[in-house]
Amino acid sequence: METKNTNKTSNDIVSNDNVSSAQQSRTIPFAVVESYKTIRTNLLFLLSNKSHNSITISSPYQSEGKSTTSVNTAIALSQLGSKVLLIDADLRRPSIHRKMKFQNSMGLSSVLVGFCTIDEAIHNVNANLDVLTSGPTTPNPSELLGSDSMSELLDTLQKSYEYIIIDTPPINIVTDALVLAPKTAGIMLVVKDNATRHDQLKKALTSIEFAGVRLLGLVLNATGGNGSYKYRYKYRYRYRYRYQYNYNTYAYDNNYNKDRNNGKKKKRR
């Protein structure tokens, strides 16, 4: 199993000379930029002898930085001059369109059900980077991602792009990522320092192994500046689910809260 760790990533979007000014509005710390370059280098080695050039990115739970990691990884790869496509396959709670400032009236779901063509749905960022947003939410996201139409779409896209980065929902909440990942080179798992517990990570890794999916590596997100990789169990869980936009939310919030609360009860005896 190959693993990768970054000692300092964040929720910032790495700047690109050709990316719109809205995505360059903040100064990104040097350590963050270099961390994504390290991820890029490791992925280049991992994919050098693979038939698939697409990568699934997920996390154990939500709010751990998987979508930002997907965006920054795509940008970092495109900065090499490679033709890159970023796909938002989180059809339940998409975010790529907001991060990249795109409309989401058409996207992946629209293409899979035949409402539009792939050319109509793709957004161009610059000469090397394109984005396929999620499109309207659907009642059957797992079925769409596991369909023959999705396999055929990836086969078609791999002929036009050197790398395809796919953002997917959290593994411990829904099965979407595990349904899609076998169609790609493997899965890269994002965990958040001082937030993701060991038991949650173990559950995600067990699910990946059970599904027969290749684990490309782990990305440790939102670490402190001391470079420590230590996981701490004494966390305070204050997660609220108040989604204000018109998208379907996960139907597993009760289980999610139950897992978090169980961890909280075990903290002290």
pLDDT number for residue 9? 52
94 backbone dihedrals φ, ψ, rounded to 5°: -70, 150
The list of the chain residues with pLDDT below 50 reads 1-8, 15-25, 226-256, 268-269
Q: What is the pLDDT of residues 42-61, one digit of tens each?
A: 999 988 877 789 999 999 99
To the question of pTM greater than 0.85 for the whole model, the response is no
pLDDT number for residue 222? 83
Alpha carbons 8 and 34: distance in angstroms, whole number: 9
pLDDT number for residue 14? 54
pLDDT number for residue 29? 81
Order the strands of the 187-192 sheet from edge to edge: 122-124, 129-132, 84-88, 163-167, 54-58, 187-192, 215-221
167 backbone dihedrals φ, ψ, rounded to 5°: -85, 130
Domains plus CATH for the chain?
Answer: 21-265 (3.40.50.300)
pLDDT number for residue 51? 79
Cα torsion for 158, 22, 223, 185, to the nearest 10°?
0
pLDDT number for residue 30? 83
Residue burial 87-107, b: 16+ Cβ < 10 Å; e: rest: bbbbbbbbbbbebbebebebb
Q: What is the pLDDT of residues 217-266, one digit of tens each?
A: 999 998 765 443 333 323 233 333 332 333 333 444 444 455 555 555 55
Average pLDDT, the chain: 80
